[in-house]
Amino acid sequence: MRIGDVDVRGLARLAPMAGATNAPFRLVARECGSGLTTTEEMDAASILHETPHAVSATAYYPAERPVAMQLLGKDAEALAAAAARCEALGADVVDLNMGCPVPKITGKGKGAALMRDVPAAARILRAMRAAARIPLTIKIRGGWDDAHLNAVEVAEMAEAEGVDAITVHPRTRAQQFTGKAPWTIIAEVVDAVRIPVTGNGDVHTMADARRMMAETGCRSVMIGRGALGRPWVFDEGYDALPPISRRAYRARVIARHVDLIQEHCSEKYALIQLKKHLSWYTEGLGHARECRVALFQARSADEVWEIFQRYWARAEREHAPVLEPATA
Ligand SMILES: Cc1cc2nc3c(=O)[nH]c(=O)nc-3n(C[C@H](O)[C@H](O)[C@H](O)COP(=O)(O)O)c2cc1C
């Protein structure tokens, strides 16, 4: 799939997730096969004021490219200036967040609240379109709530304003992340516009991704929670590997991710990131709950890594007979 002149690559790509999809995790996902990745949401004002958080969130590895930067805001002028700033920072695509359901964001008229006032959203997109030459995309929800399911109306408006692609997470703002994502809304948006549509919501495997594409006609798929602790989900060949190779693959990816976190993040942030991501990596490992408790009590990056490796080695020992080749 292409977004403007950007080749998205890959069937599925990592969804933006605040606090998780920073440069190390995005690069690991990319190396596992994710297409175009997206930074976590960043307020337009933070970008323009170059706050430490915005500087860290917009940092990316050259090997990640193409990379999309996602903006949050409601002021057309600020969002337009921030879009131009993203372009200057090297973003390949700029994305407007129209789906964040968090009350402290929607309460300020940002995120999913933009879907409530379509003419105002059109003015914002027009200003952003005029300010940046790179492709412009939006990420929307099904609507504000069940009484206001206007994803199709918003998508049609966005296409008319020159938006290059749309991602649809079809839950409403009221649903937050609960219940099942109604994929039929993705199909309705696909039918309504000619620009490429990416589907998102409840995809945990490549088989789910293919099913979403077949059922909705979307051109690519974004995976969010299904990629936390499982970036290998983006590797189409992963499921066909024998268990012993899958385990070695996972070990390699986790070690790489740990190295990247330590290289990229400040000492304090690295500790938080290691605890978070290594906890997600314990999913499916023996004694996961016990391991997570120990991880969160650790005081240094070395200690966190040492604890994880100890539990990993223990799981390896306990599962060893299962992992022996059949001929052994
Ligand atoms: C912890 C967390 C943080 C998120 N942060 C963002 C964000 O910064 N920008 C955004 O557009 N969506 C964000 N989302 C929504 C995801 O991108 C995605 O739309 C949602 O999780 C549904 O996809 P999934 O079922 O594959 O997880 C976030 C979701 C989670 C769970």
Question: In which band, very low, low, confident or very high, does the pLDDT at 153 lie, cut at 50, 70 and 90?
Answer: very high
pLDDT at 328: 34
CA of 177 to the centre of ligand 1 (A): 8
Phi, psi of 250, rounded to the nearest 5 degrees: -60, -45
Residue 109 falls in which region: left (phi positive, over 0), alpha (psi -120 to 50) or beta: left
Is there an atom of ligand 1 within 6 Å of 92 CB?
A: no
CA of 159 to the centre of ligand 1 (A): 23
Phi, psi of 171, rounded to the nearest 5 degrees: -65, 155
| Nearby residues of 318 by Cβ (< 8 Å), 6 or more positions away | 286
Contact 153, 140 (CB under 8 A): no
CB count, 10 Å around CB of 163? 23
CA of 121 to the centre of ligand 1 (A): 21
26: pLDDT strictly greater than 50: yes
**166 DSSP β-pair partners:** 138, 197
Q: Ligand 1: which of 38, 168, 169, 180 to mutate, judged by most atoms within 8 Å of the beta carbon?
A: 169
> Which residue has a Cα nearest atom 6 of ligand 1?
17
Q: Is the pTM of this model over 0.75?
A: yes
- Average pLDDT (34-49) is 97
Q: Ligand 1: which of 13, 14, 17 to mutate, judged by most atoms within 8 Å of the beta carbon?
A: 17
The rounded distance, in Å, linking the Cα atoms of 294 and 274 is: 13
- Average pLDDT (148-161) is 97
CA of 313 to the centre of ligand 1 (A): 32
Can you tell me which atom of ligand 1 is nearest the CA of 169? 19
Is there an atom of ligand 1 within 6 Å of 209 CB?
A: no
325: pLDDT strictly greater than 70: no
Contact 20, 265 (CB under 8 A): no
Can you tell me which atom of ligand 1 is nearest the CA of 223? 26
pLDDT digits 0-9 by tens, 274-320: 999 999 999 888 889 999 999 999 999 999 999 999 999 998 888 75
pLDDT at 320: 58
- Average pLDDT (223-227) is 98
pLDDT at 199: 98
265 is a catalytic site residue: no
| Burial of 313 per CB tally in 10 Å (0-12, 13-18, 19+) | exposed
- Average pLDDT (152-173) is 97
Percent of the chain with pLDDT over 70: 97
100: pLDDT strictly greater than 70: yes
Q: How many angstroms separate the Cα of 295 from the Cα of each of 273, 299, 300?
A: 11, 9, 10
pLDDT at 116: 97
The rounded distance, in Å, linking the Cα atoms of 242 and 220 is: 27
Can you tell me which atom of ligand 1 is nearest the CA of 222? 26
Is there an atom of ligand 1 within 6 Å of 97 CB?
A: yes
pLDDT digits 0-9 by tens, 87-96: 999 999 999 9
324: pLDDT strictly greater than 70: no
* Listed range (9-13, 48-52, 229-233) with the worst mean pLDDT: 9-13
CA of 234 to the centre of ligand 1 (A): 17
pLDDT digits 0-9 by tens, 229-251: 999 999 999 999 998 899 999 99
Percent of the chain with pLDDT over 90: 88
155: pLDDT strictly greater than 80: yes
The better pLDDT of the pair 316, 188 is held by: 188
pLDDT at 180: 82
CA of 52 to the centre of ligand 1 (A): 22
Is there an atom of ligand 1 within 6 Å of 224 CB?
A: yes
Q: Give the DSSP H or E segment for 6.
A: strand 6-7
> Which residue has a Cα nearest atom 4 of ligand 1?
17
- Average pLDDT (68-87) is 98
> Which residue has a Cα nearest atom 1 of ligand 1?
17
